[in-house]
């Protein structure tokens, strides 16, 4: 049965999923790149960009697990790019260049309609204007029995959590402080939503927690 999963979502020690003031020059906000130091050096991450080197071990294992059995993705608009409001032009096609790392249908939550964008490598971005449940229904249909990965950002994950739609989360706590922006779990009662911690592994670069709905 298809699950909705969060994988490899990094938060700071003070609980933020990005830094403040996201922009073209700071796609993860000021200081936000520090969140992903554990992942960008791994063999799995580097292989997505044609490199053959990289670290192995638990950080790499969690990165690789994040792509297993994924048939479609959901992203919030901020994860797709820094453009706000109406699509004044349609030149922006994401942060990832001509061949994004998704290789499947990606459903982007937005209030502003836009035609789908077909990219190299099998990625097609679809823009969903009628809410999170509609995006999930479309993603599950596209995934054809495989799981749907919810990429973020924090506000998007919070919406799906509060709606009771997420089945499993892997959260990596990185040793940095950001001070502001979107808090991932503040005010959310995870036990009341049915979650329990089922796995913990600590490395020198992150503390990895897997939470699963009972």
CATH number at residue 10: 3.40.430.10
User: Cα-flanking dihedrals φ and ψ of residue 72, to 5°?
Assistant: -165, 165
In a domain, 152, yes or no: yes
pLDDT for 27 beyond 90: no
| Separation between Cα atoms, residue 114 and residue 116, nearest integer Å | 7
| Total domains in the fold of the chain | 1
Paired residues of 120 in beta bridges? none
Preceding amide of 52 cis, omega within 30:
no
pLDDT of the residue at 1: 82
Residue 198's domain comprises 4-85+96-213
**Sign of the alpha-carbon dihedral angle for 133, 135, 140, 141:** positive
Query: How many C-beta atoms lie closer than 10 Å to residue 49's C-beta?
Result: 11
pLDDT of the residue at 127: 98
Q: What is the mean pLDDT of residues 92-106?
A: 93
In a domain, 198, yes or no: yes
pLDDT for 90 beyond 90: no
Average pLDDT, the chain: 95
What is the share, in percent, of the chain residues with pLDDT greater than 70?
100
* pTM above threshold 0.75: yes
pLDDT of the residue at 167: 98
Condensed to tens digits (0 to 9), the pLDDT of residues 62-80 reads 999 999 999 999 999 999 9
In a domain, 90, yes or no: no
In a domain, 136, yes or no: yes
pLDDT for 121 beyond 90: yes
In a domain, 164, yes or no: yes
Q: Is residue 174 within 8 Å of 39, Cβ to Cβ?
A: no
Helix (H, G, I), strand (E, B) or coil at 161: helix
pLDDT of the residue at 168: 98
User: Cα-flanking dihedrals φ and ψ of residue 118, to 5°?
Assistant: -90, 125
In a domain, 43, yes or no: yes
Condensed to tens digits (0 to 9), the pLDDT of residues 122-167 reads 999 999 999 999 999 999 999 999 999 999 899 999 999 999 999 9
pLDDT for 119 beyond 90: yes
Q: What is the mean pLDDT of residues 107-131?
A: 97
pLDDT of the residue at 31: 94
Specify the DSSP class assigned to residue 33: G
pLDDT for 52 beyond 90: no
pLDDT of the residue at 124: 98
In a domain, 91, yes or no: no
In a domain, 204, yes or no: yes
Whose tokens are 């495989």? That residue is 146
pLDDT for 50 beyond 90: no
pLDDT of the residue at 82: 86
């Amino acid at each position: 049965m298809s699950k909705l999963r969060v994988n490899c979502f990094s938060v700071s020690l003070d609980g933020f999923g990005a830094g403040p003031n996201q922009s073209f020059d700071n796609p993860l906000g000021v200081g936000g790149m520090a969140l992903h130091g554990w992942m960008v050096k791994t063999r799995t991450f580097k292989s997505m960009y044609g490199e053959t080197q990289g670290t192995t071990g638990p950080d790499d294992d969690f990165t690789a697990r994040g792509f297993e059995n994924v048939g479609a993705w959901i992203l919030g608009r901020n994860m797709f790019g820094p453009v706000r409001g109406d699509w004044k032009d349609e030149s922006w096609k994401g942060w990832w260049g001509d061949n994004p790392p998704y290789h499947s249908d990606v459903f982007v939550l937005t209030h502003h309609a836009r035609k789908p964008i077909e990219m190299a490598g099998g990625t097609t971005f679809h823009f969903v204007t009628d809410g999170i449940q509609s995006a999930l229904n479309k993603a599950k249909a596209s995934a054809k029995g495989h799981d749907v990965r919810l990429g973020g950002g924090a506000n998007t994950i919070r919406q799906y959590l509060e709606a009771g739609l997420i089945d499993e989360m892997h959260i990596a706590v990185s040793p940095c402080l950001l001070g502001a922006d979107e808090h991932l779990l503040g005010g959310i009662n995870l036990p009341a939503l049915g979650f329990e911690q089922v796995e913990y592994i600590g490395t020198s670069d992150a503390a990895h927690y897997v939470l699963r709905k009972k």
